[in-house]
Chains A and B, each alone.
Chain A
Amino acid sequence: MSPTIQTESLAKSFGRTEVLRSIDLAVPEGAIYALVGANGAGKTTMIKLLMNIFPPTAGRAQVLGIDSRKLAGRDFDRIGYVSENQDLPDAMTVGGLLDYMRPFYPTWDRALEQQLVRQFDLPLGRKLKHLSRGMRMKAAFASSLAYRPPLIVLDEPFTGLDPLVRDELIEGLLERAPETTIFLSSHDLAEIESFASHVGYLEDGRMLFSDEMAVLNDRFRDVSITLAAPTPLPPDLPPAWLLPETVDCVLRFVHSEYKGVATDRELAAIFASARDISAEPMPLRSIFLAIAKSSRSHKRAPHIPAADRRSEA
C-alpha cells in the first residue's frame, strides 16, 4: 500500500533562507501523523508545499498519489485542509459557508454536516467575522470534514483554543479517523500525544526523526544509574545516550535505543558496581526536549537509527 503522503528530499528556500532541507517522509494510510516542532521550524511551509500553496525549491512530494505541484481543482475533493491562519470568507454566515461549499463536493454528506453542526454547536446564522476564534475553527472543521475526505491536513489547528473547544475538535476529528489519514502540525506536544499514531520532529528545517508513537515510547528511556562513589562523566559515551550528566553518585541520560531486557543487561554489565539502575518510560514532551537539547548542544542531529529517520513507521 503506497503512503498517503510521501516526500523525497523536499526542500524550500525563500531567497537565501533555507526553510526546509531535504525532507524525506512517508505517512501511511490511516495514520494520524503529528508534525511537531518549535515555532519557525518549517511545519507550515511543509504543509503548504504538500498542498501546492508553494512550489518546492527541490525534491518532490506526492499526496494521495499526485505530484504536489500538480495538485489543483478536483484533487481537493479528497483533501480537507484547515489552518489556524487561513483567511475565511468572513462576510459569510456559517450556514452560508456550508451552503456555498456543498455543491463543490460530490461526496458531501448532508447528515454528517448536520451532525457536525450539532456537535460543534455552530450558530448557522452568524457571520464568520463575528465568531470567536474557536467557533471559526469549528466552522472550518465542519466545512472540511462533511465531505469525508480521505486525507485531512491541519496546520496548527488547536493553537490558541481553550481546552474545551480543543477537546471538541479532537473528538470530531477522531470520529473521522477510521476512514481517513490525518496529517497535522503542532508546536504543543501535549495536545497531540493523546491521539497521534505517528510523529515527526522538525527543527530548523530538518526532520530530526519520524516514527510511530508506540515505537518512540518503547525506544526512549530516562536512565538513572546510582554509582558507588561520585564519578566524573566518562568520555566517549555511546552516541545513543543523550544529555548525559552526573550529580554526585548519580549518572543520568536519555537512552534513544532502548531495547528492553537486552539494554538492561548491557547497562548492568557496563556499570557492574552500580547500586541501582532504573530505565523509566518518558512522556513525549520529555523525549522531544531531550532530542532538541541534544541536537542544539551538538549542532547536529542526535543519534537516531538511520532506518527510523526515514521512516515509514
Chain B
Amino acid sequence: MNQVLNIFRKDTRRFWPEILLSVVLTFAYAAASPNSWKAFHDQNVQQRMMMITGALTFLMMTGWWLLIARVVHAETLVGDRQFWITRPYEWEKLLAAKVLFVAAWIGVPYLLTQSLVRAEAGFSPIANAPILLLNLLMMSTAFLLPLFSVATVTANFARLTLTLLACLAILIGYTFLTNGIPHGYIASNPYPNRVLYPLLFCGCAVAIALEYATRRVWASRAMLIVLPLLLALSAAAHSRQSLVDRAYPRPSAEVAPPVSFALTPSAARPIEARSYEGWDYIDLPFRFSGVAEGYAVVTADMKFTLTAADGSQWTSPWQQTHDHIGPSGHGSILSLQMSPALYDRFKSGPVTLNITFALSHYQADTVTTMPFPTRDQVVPGVGTCTAEGSGLVCRSAHDPRLTYASAVWTNVPCSNSPAPPAATKPGAAWYEPGNIDFALSSVWTPHLYFSGGGDDDTGSRYNWRICSGSPFTVTQYHLMDRTQTSVTLTNFALPAEVRPT
C-alpha cells in the first residue's frame, strides 16, 4: 500500500496543473449542464448556451485524456530506457496507483459535480447514488478505460494522439459497417447490445493488466487491435437484418393487427417518386389508424415487396421507419427505397405492393390529467417541466418510458380563457426513451414538442400557443409485444417521373 500511495503522491505533485485543469473543466461542464433543461425564450441565447455546453464537454474530455496520458506515461510501459523498470516497482501496485489517480482526480470530481447537477435539478444525489455510480462505470468503460489501455501501449502523448486518431478512423468505419448494410439500407437495432460494454471492459482491462504484468507491448497491442474487431462483430451480430425478423415475429393468422393502414394520396400530398444520392424513393402518404383506446403502436422497420404482372418479384431489406401511433391515428409519408434499375423494371406496369411493418405494441398504464405547466412543475413519470415555445422542456432523474402527451393549441390570447372551441385545436407530443445506456450528464432532459401548431389554413404558426393551465394529459406506456403486420396494395402504379432532389 505504501508503494501505491508513494506513486500516487508523486503523480499528484507532478501533475497538479493537469489535475487542476481537468477538475476546473469538470466543474465548468457541470455548471453549464443546467442549460440543457433551462427554457430559453431567445433562440440565439439557447444556441449559444448549447454551443458552450458542447465545447465544455469536449474540453472536459480532452482534460481527462491529457491527465490519463500524462499519468500513464509517467511510468511508460513502452521502451527500454525508463528508469523505473530496474527499480523495485511491483506491477500490481503501479497499476493500482494509476487507477487510484484516475479515480481520485477524474472519478471523484465527476461524481461530485454530477451530484451537484442532480441537486441543482431538484433530485436527491444520495437517493440516486446507484444511478450516478452506474453512469460513472459506463462512462469509464466507454471512454476512460479504452483511453487508459491505449496509453499503456504507447510511449508518449504524441503517439497516443496519433493512435487515437487512427482509432477514430476505425470507429467511423465501424459505425458505417454496423449502421448501414451494403446498398444503403438501414435497419433499426432491435436489441440493445448487452455484449458490447462487458466485452469492451474485459478486453481493455486484460490488455492493461497484461501490459503492466509483462510489458510485452506487442501482445497487448494485438489484443487492443483484436478488440475493436470483436466489438464490431458483436455490434454487427446485433444489427443484422435477420434480427428484425427474430425480434418482431410474424403473427398467427387469427390475431387481428393492432393497427391498420390506408394509402391516402391527396392533391397536397400525392404519391411521388424522387431520386436522392443514387437511390429512388417512392413517397407514399399513409394513414395509420385503428389503435384501440389505451394502446399505442410504434413502427421500427418496414420492408416492401413488388410483384409485377409477369410474376417477377423483388423484396427490399428492412429499412428504418419511425412513427408513433395512438388511438387518434397518425398520418405519415413512407419512403420506399430502391435502386433506379429496379424502379425502371417495375414502373412499366401495375404491380402488387406489399408493405410489412415491424412494430411494437404498447399498453397505457398511467394517465395523468393536469393543467398545462408553466415553470418547474412536476409532470408525473416525465420530470420537472417548464413551458417553452411549442412544448415542454423537462428534466428527469431517469430516462422516462414511452410517453404520449396531449394539449390544446389556441389562437387567441391566453388571457381570453377559456378559449372558444373554434379557436382551438389538439396538439400531441411523443417521447420515446433513447437507446443510449448512459450519458455524461446524469440528468435526463426529455422534451415534449407538440405537433399541430404549425402552418395551416387557419393562420400563421405564431398565432398558435398552448396556454398555461389549459387541459393537458400525459399517458405512459409499457411494451406488450412486438410483431409484424402487412398491407397489400394491388394495381399499384409507380409514378412515371422520378423527380430529382
Interface residues of A in 50-65 (CB under 8 A from B): 51, 53-54
**B2 at the A/B interface (Cβ < 8 Å)?**
yes
Check A100 against B81 for contact (C-beta < 8 Å).
no
Whole-angstrom distance between the Cβ of A167 and the nearest chain B Cβ: 24
Check B87 against A104 for contact (C-beta < 8 Å).
yes
Check B6 against A103 for contact (C-beta < 8 Å).
yes
Check B87 against A76 for contact (C-beta < 8 Å).
yes
Check A74 against B80 for contact (C-beta < 8 Å).
no
Check B91 against A73 for contact (C-beta < 8 Å).
yes
A54 contacts which chain B residues (CB < 8 A)?
A: 80
Check A100 against B83 for contact (C-beta < 8 Å).
no
A85 to B91, CA, bound (A): 23
**B14 at the A/B interface (Cβ < 8 Å)?**
yes
Closest to A55 in B: B216
A51, A73, A83, A85 — which one has the most chain B CB atoms within 10 A of its CB?
Answer: A73
Known contacts A73-B88, A92-B14: A104-B81 contact under CB 8 Å? no
**B111 at the A/B interface (Cβ < 8 Å)?**
no
**A81 at the A/B interface (Cβ < 8 Å)?**
yes
Interface residues of A in 96-113 (CB under 8 A from B): 96, 100-101, 103-105
B85 contacts which chain A residues (CB < 8 A)?
A: 51, 53
Closest to A140 in B: B83
Check A86 against B91 for contact (C-beta < 8 Å).
no
A140 contacts which chain B residues (CB < 8 A)?
A: 83
Known contacts A48-B80, A103-B6: A74-B14 contact under CB 8 Å? no
A51, A53, A77, A79 — which one has the most chain B CB atoms within 10 A of its CB?
Answer: A53
Check B83 against A88 for contact (C-beta < 8 Å).
yes
A105 to B14, CA, bound (A): 21
Known contacts A100-B6, A104-B6: A87-B86 contact under CB 8 Å? no
A85 to B81, CA, bound (A): 7
B81 contacts which chain A residues (CB < 8 A)?
A: 83, 85-87
Known contacts A53-B80, A100-B10, A104-B3: A74-B90 contact under CB 8 Å? yes
**A178 at the A/B interface (Cβ < 8 Å)?**
no
Known contacts A86-B81, A86-B83, A103-B2: A91-B14 contact under CB 8 Å? yes
Interface residues of B in 87-105 (CB under 8 A from A): 87-91
A81 to B85, CA, bound (A): 10
**B82 at the A/B interface (Cβ < 8 Å)?**
yes
Interface flags for B321-360 (1: CB within 8 Å of A; 0: not) read 0000000000000000000000000000000000000000
Known contacts A53-B80, A86-B81, A87-B83: A76-B88 contact under CB 8 Å? yes
Interface flags for B54-97 (1: CB within 8 Å of A; 0: not) read 00000000000000000000100001111101111111000000
A88 to B80, CA, bound (A): 12
A72 contacts which chain B residues (CB < 8 A)?
A: 90-91
A140 to B84, CA, bound (A): 12
B79 contacts which chain A residues (CB < 8 A)?
A: 87
A53 to B10, CA, bound (A): 24
User: What band does the interface of chain A fall in when counting residues whose beta carbon is under 8 Å from B?
Assistant: 20 to 34
Check B83 against A77 for contact (C-beta < 8 Å).
no
A79 contacts which chain B residues (CB < 8 A)?
A: 86
A232 contacts which chain B residues (CB < 8 A)?
A: none
Dominant secondary structure at the A interface: mixed
Check A101 against B86 for contact (C-beta < 8 Å).
no
**A179 at the A/B interface (Cβ < 8 Å)?**
no
A92 contacts which chain B residues (CB < 8 A)?
A: 10, 14
Check A89 against B74 for contact (C-beta < 8 Å).
yes
Whole-angstrom distance between the Cβ of A156 and the nearest chain B Cβ: 13
**A75 at the A/B interface (Cβ < 8 Å)?**
yes
Whole-angstrom distance between the Cβ of B412 and the nearest chain A Cβ: 71
A74 contacts which chain B residues (CB < 8 A)?
A: 88, 90
Closest to B213 in A: A72
A103 to B5, CA, bound (A): 10
A87 to B156, CA, bound (A): 13
A83 to B87, CA, bound (A): 13
B89 contacts which chain A residues (CB < 8 A)?
A: 73, 76, 104
A104 contacts which chain B residues (CB < 8 A)?
A: 3, 6, 87-89
Whole-angstrom distance between the Cβ of B155 and the nearest chain A Cβ: 10
Closest to B81 in A: A87
A167 to B13, CA, bound (A): 35
Interface residues of A in 209-229 (CB under 8 A from B): none
A16 to B88, CA, bound (A): 33
A53 to B81, CA, bound (A): 9
A75 contacts which chain B residues (CB < 8 A)?
A: 88
Partner of A77, one of B74, B82, B88: B88
B2, B13, B81 — which one has the most chain A CB atoms within 10 A of its CB?
Answer: B81
A96 to B6, CA, bound (A): 12
Whole-angstrom distance between the Cβ of B18 and the nearest chain A Cβ: 12
Check B86 against A76 for contact (C-beta < 8 Å).
yes
A88 contacts which chain B residues (CB < 8 A)?
A: 83
A140 to B86, CA, bound (A): 12
A103 contacts which chain B residues (CB < 8 A)?
A: 2-3, 6
B88 contacts which chain A residues (CB < 8 A)?
A: 73-77, 104-105
B82, B86, B87 — which one has the most chain A CB atoms within 10 A of its CB?
Answer: B86
A76 contacts which chain B residues (CB < 8 A)?
A: 86-89
Interface flags for B1-29 (1: CB within 8 Å of A; 0: not) read 01100100010011000000000000000
Whole-angstrom distance between the Cβ of A230 and the nearest chain B Cβ: 56
Whole-angstrom distance between the Cβ of B73 and the nearest chain A Cβ: 11
Partner of A51, one of B6, B10, B86: B86
Whole-angstrom distance between the Cβ of A180 and the nearest chain B Cβ: 16
A75 to B86, CA, bound (A): 9
B90 contacts which chain A residues (CB < 8 A)?
A: 72-74
A76 to B87, CA, bound (A): 5
A121 to B473, CA, bound (A): 83
B13 contacts which chain A residues (CB < 8 A)?
A: 96
Whole-angstrom distance between the Cβ of A38 and the nearest chain B Cβ: 21
B10 contacts which chain A residues (CB < 8 A)?
A: 92, 100
A242 to B195, CA, bound (A): 72
A153 to B79, CA, bound (A): 19
A245 to B80, CA, bound (A): 45
Closest to A97 in B: B83
A101 contacts which chain B residues (CB < 8 A)?
A: 87
A89 to B90, CA, bound (A): 18
A86 to B3, CA, bound (A): 22
Check B91 against A89 for contact (C-beta < 8 Å).
no
A103 to B4, CA, bound (A): 11
A73 to B87, CA, bound (A): 7
4 additional A-B residue pairs with CB within 8 Å, beyond A53-B86, A77-B88, A103-B6: A51-B85, A73-B89, A76-B89, A87-B83
**Chain A to chain B contacts (Cβ below 8 Å), 7 pairs:** A73-B90, A76-B89, A79-B86, A86-B81, A86-B82, A92-B10, A104-B3
| Nearest 7 Cβ contacts at the A-B interface | A81-B86, A73-B90, A76-B88, A87-B81, A53-B80, A77-B88, A103-B6
